[in-house]
């Protein structure tokens, strides 16, 4: 088992449904909101890209595994729990089969959804749809490229009838991205610093050449046929600086979209920055305007409830549904 019981216990208490040796599913806040409001409230993925929020499955194939320890990350780490495990690697001989993960994640998702059956605010039709997700977000926790069969996992979701699959990566494994056997529907890279010094302070890499690897991934993004996104997760007085530096990353990657978004003081991130130290939407909007001026990208949309702004060189985002 690559995930110690101490960590598994923490995540069970936090509402994660564990799948196999190193995967997990958790019902997103916005899935619950969408069901409770009969679709009136939903996440930015529905607003920007047309993905039906209540039909999204959020999962990770790399629970507890990452090669960064970002200031704003909510995950539990060895120093929090007082136990050690190998964070930066899942040995191939310990890696679960992609089809087993997909089937287990659906089972876990349906178990989480079943609790909505007694809620009078939730329509039976929407709940039935929610039981059969069409979108998989490989983004819940950890770094997905540490799972050695990521491309095969994407393909397994497609093979099981999913219409779209997003991957969110920190970009520190460019070789894994270069060798993906199947591309996701959309690829996110968390580019959370405009320069090496800010990167070291913000993302706190667990490997020595993180900034170089991130920049290698920036160049690699040009080779992808799917839309690509630079996600800027932002904290005041930490990394909301130097919009021209972020613009250089946009130029290097030629990313389809830029998404500056406020980091939230939740989970274990609360030990590193407080609620009153978070960015608010007006902060993100102001930064997005500065980024637009520096990069040549235009602001297309925003969702204040999620403190996120969408920029692109396209006239409008590509709707996936």
Within-domain flag for 34 = yes
User: 274 burial class (0-12, 13-18, 19+ CB within 10 angstroms)?
Assistant: exposed
Within-domain flag for 267 = yes
Q: CA-CA distance, 295 to 153, in Å (whole number)?
A: 34
Tokens of 256: 């389809």
Backbone angles phi, psi at 38, to 5 degrees: 55, 40
Within-domain flag for 110 = yes
Residue 3 is predicted with a pLDDT of: 85
Q: CA-CA distance, 133 to 144, in Å (whole number)?
A: 20
Range of the domain at 138: 5-312
Tokens of 56: 């999204």
pLDDT single digits (tens) 277-308? 999 999 999 999 999 999 999 999 999 999 99
Residue 1 is predicted with a pLDDT of: 56
Within-domain flag for 319 = no
Q: CA-CA distance, 234 to 230, in Å (whole number)?
A: 12
Tokens of 189: 């890279």
- List the chain residues with pLDDT less than 50: none
Q: What is the pTM of this model?
A: 0.97
Tell how far CA 140 is from the center of its chain: 6
Within-domain flag for 171 = yes
Taking a C-beta distance cutoff of 8 angstroms, is the pair 31, 109 a contact?
Answer: no
Q: Which of 14, 55, 15 is nearest to 35 (CA)?
A: 55
The CATH number that applies at residue 149 is 3.20.20.70
Within-domain flag for 184 = yes
Q: CA-CA distance, 64 to 43, in Å (whole number)?
A: 25
At what angle are helices 196-203 and 210-220 packed, to 10 degrees? Answer: 110
pLDDT single digits (tens) 180-214? 999 999 999 999 999 999 999 999 999 999 999 99
Residue 174 is predicted with a pLDDT of: 98
Number of compact structural domains in the chain = 1
């Amino acid at each position: 088992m690559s995930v110690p019981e101490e960590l598994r216990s923490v995540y069970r208490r936090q509402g994660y449904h564990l799948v196999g040796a190193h995967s997990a599913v958790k019902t997103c806040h916005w899935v619950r909101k969408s069901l409770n409001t009969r679709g009136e409230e939903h996440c930015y993925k529905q607003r920007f890209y047309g993905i039906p929020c209540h039909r999204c499955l959020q999962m990770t194939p790399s629970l507890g595994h990452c090669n960064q320890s970002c200031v704003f990350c909510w995950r539990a780490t060895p120093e929090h729990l007082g136990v050690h495990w190998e964070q930066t690697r899942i040995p191939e001989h310990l890696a679960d089969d992609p089809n087993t993960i997909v089937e287990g994640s659906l089972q876990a998702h349906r178990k989480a959804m079943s609790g909505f059956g007694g809620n009078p605010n939730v329509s039976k039709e929407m709940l039935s749809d929610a039981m059969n997700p069409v979108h998989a977000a490989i983004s819940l926790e950890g770094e997905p490229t540490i799972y050695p069969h990521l491309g095969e996992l994407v393909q397994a979701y497609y093979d099981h009838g999913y219409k779209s699959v997003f991957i969110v990566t920190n970009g520190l494994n460019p070789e894994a991205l270069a060798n993906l056997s199947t591309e996701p529907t959309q690829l996110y890279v968390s580019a959370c610093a405009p320069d090496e010094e800010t990167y070291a302070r913000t993302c706190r890499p667990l490997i020595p050449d993180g900034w170089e690897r991130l920049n290698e991934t920036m160049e690699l993004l040009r080779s992808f046929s799917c839309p690509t996104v630079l996600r800027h997760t932002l904290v005041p007085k930490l990394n909301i600086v130097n919009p021209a530096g972020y613009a250089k990353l946009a130029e290097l990657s030629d990313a389809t979209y830029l998404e500056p978004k406020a980091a939230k003081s939740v989970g274990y991130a609360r030990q590193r920055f407080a609620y009153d130290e978070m960015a608010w939407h007006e902060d993100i909007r102001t930064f997005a305007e500065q980024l637009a001026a520096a990069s040549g990208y235009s602001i297309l949309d925003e969702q204040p409830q999620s403190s996120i702004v969408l920029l692109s060189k396209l006239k409008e985002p590509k709707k996936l549904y």
